[in-house]
Amino acid sequence: MIKLLNESDISKIAHLEEEVQTYALEALTILDEEYGTDRDPITDLGGYVVILESQEDIMQLEELHNIDLTKSPLPEFVDFIYPEKGPRYTASLFLLSSDYGIIIILPYDMTPKELMKK
């Protein structure tokens, strides 16, 4: 699991497709502009972006935030990221409170079918 807390963390996903990096950077830019770069994205308002790369990452997400991608809470939206080369991805926004959300990006082939129905 790769947590991206601010724009400055974008180098953590340099190994991923450019379209995934761009999507994550756009989300982080909005969070930084709206909630500040000096916030603690884990405990303060705003939220963060997380990249899941394995089934273990999905289980860890469940433990950290009680998010089961096959059940609830329901995502606000599910976007599809179609890189020119490489695997496809999904990006989902889960609001955990009125001012705190997590954007979850994971490979399309790991995305539960229940999530894609949303």
Range of the domain at 101: 2-116
Per-residue pLDDT in tens (0 to 9) along the chain, 118 residues: 999 999 999 999 999 999 999 999 999 999 999 999 888 877 788 999 999 999 999 999 888 888 888 776 688 999 999 999 889 999 999 988 888 899 999 999 999 887 776 6
Number of domains in the chain: 1
* Sign of the four-CA dihedral 12, 24, 79, 74: positive
Instruction: Give the pairing type, strands 46-51 and 100-107.
Output: parallel
SS3 37: coil
Q: Residue 83: is the preceding peptide bond cis (ω within 30°)?
A: no
